[in-house]
């Protein structure tokens, strides 16, 4: 995918950008181990290998695992009949062919999703059987036109199907393929009577995955549901954060705190009372300067580690559109840029894992950096 001629003009030593490398030595389960038992950062297949297949499909998850990802990440929403399925949002017009189905034209609706009016088709208005008649499409075809060749080929998978796939691939590949589910818009689903968490707990328990050694993380951008899950799940919980805004459950309850408050040293110590780690936006770890180039790392990784938390930033993608200015290969936002340099910068910043749409590149970068 990466064209050497284009990369030659943008290759930058991330170590030079950052100065002294600070590598994480934390080894608590469930970090990936090499044969010397030294912890290696995790490669997390963001919505599967979504740089190569339409996101949140069994094909995308399987490809990520075969590329070497340690975990695959299903975002969870609910159907009308209470089944957890993998979609990035409950509104599915951008990730399925629902708009082309005349039998569902009357289901189009405008709803308030976390304070924003959104028009489209919603998973909670479809039974699982109805949802299974739809097919996935590429969400960002302007940046990933090659992925559109797979439009219409894959169903919307259930959480159970993702778990079954991870178990099958673990046997076939002779290594455990973990799952890293995210509860999407939990306050929204709770208010419409389709609370996500009980079904998640039930499904993990039913599959023998609700114990401390299970290769599972559970993540959320909200706080109260993670705190409630702490008493019901025995797997690590991850508090997601954003470079702006606030957890919607805070906004909904009148709590004035923002994500910025969660990533202060005091905020991180509170997060550590219920979570194993944080999943920050990557700009919270290494921001960009006025020209759009990578600047120096913030104190977030150091502060999180001091609070006993792991750090798994998101999202690392190969297209120029998502890369710092000085790591882009051309003016075309869809061209492949120098993701290797960006990854090297974040390994050097001491992250404990990262979410990527391009697991193959991240696995190769990790091998080059850490030898494993």
Identify whether 37 is a catalytic site residue: no
227 touches 274 (CB < 8 A): yes
Burial class (CB in 10 A: 0-12, 13-18, 19+), 323: buried
Selected catalytic residue, list 32, 56, 88, 305: 88
The 8-class DSSP code of residue 277 comes to E
One of 32, 46, 56, 185 is an active-site residue; which one?
Answer: 46
Instruction: Mark whether 88 is an active-site residue.
Output: yes
DSSP 170-215: HHHHTS--EE--EE-SHHHHHHTT--HHHHHHHHHHHTT--STTSS
What pairs with residue 111 in β-bridges? 118
- Residue 131 backbone dihedrals phi, psi, to 5 degrees: -65, -35
For residue 117, how far is the Cα from the chain centroid? 24
- CA 270, CA 241: separation in Å to the nearest integer? 14
Instruction: Give me the torsion for CA of 194, 118, 243, 28, rounded to 10°.
Output: 30
Q: Could you report how far apart the first and last alpha carbons of the chain are, in Å?
A: 22
SS3 content of the chain, % helix, strand, coil (to 5): 35, 15, 45
Q: Annotated catalytic sites, by residue?
A: 46, 88
């Amino acid at each position: 995918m990466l064209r050497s001629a284009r990369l030659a003009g943008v290759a930058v030593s991330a170590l030079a950008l950052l100065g002294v490398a600070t590598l994480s030595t934390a080894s608590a389960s469930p970090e990936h181990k090499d044969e010397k038992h030294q912890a290696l950062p995790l490669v997390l297949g963001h919505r599967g290998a979504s740089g190569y297949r339409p996101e949140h499909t069994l094909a995308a998850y399987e490809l990520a695992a075969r590329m070497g990802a340690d975990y695959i990440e299903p975002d969870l929403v609910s159907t009308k009949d209470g089944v957890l399925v993998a979609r990035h949002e409950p509104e599915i017009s951008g990730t399925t062919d629902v708009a082309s189905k005349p039998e569902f034209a009357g289901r189009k609706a405008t709803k308030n999703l976390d304070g924003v009016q959104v028009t489209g088709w919603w998973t909670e208005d479809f039974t699982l059987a109805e949802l299974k008649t739809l097919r996935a499409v590429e969400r960002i075809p302007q940046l990933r036109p090659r992925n559109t060749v797979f439009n219409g080929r894959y169903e919307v998978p259930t959480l159970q199907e993702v778990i079954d796939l991870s178990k099958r691939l673990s046997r076939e590949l002779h290594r455990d393929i973990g799952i890293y589910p995210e509860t999407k818009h939990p306050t929204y689903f709770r208010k419409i009577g389709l609370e996500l968490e009980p079904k998640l707990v039930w499904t993990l328990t039913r599959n023998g995955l609700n114990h401390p050694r299970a290769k599972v993380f559970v993540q959320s951008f909200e706080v109260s549901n993670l705190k409630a899950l702490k008493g019901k799940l025995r797997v690590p919980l991850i508090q997601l954060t954003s470079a702006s805004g606030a957890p919607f459950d805070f906004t909904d309850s009148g709590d004035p705190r923002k994500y910025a408050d969660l990533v202060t040293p005091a905020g991180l110590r509170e997060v550590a009372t219920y979570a194993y780690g944080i999943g920050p936006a990557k700009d919270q770890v290494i921001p960009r300067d006025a020209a759009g180039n990578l600047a120096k790392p913030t104190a977030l990784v150091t502060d999180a580690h001091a609070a006993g938390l792991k750090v798994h930033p998101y999202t690392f993608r190969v297209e120029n559109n998502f890369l710092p200015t000085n790591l882009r290969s051309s003016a075309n936002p869809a061209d492949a840029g120098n993701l290797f340099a960006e990854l090297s910068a974040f390994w050097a910043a001491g992250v404990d894992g990262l979410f990527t749409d391009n697991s193959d590149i991240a696995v190769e970068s990790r091998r080059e950096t850490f030898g494993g």
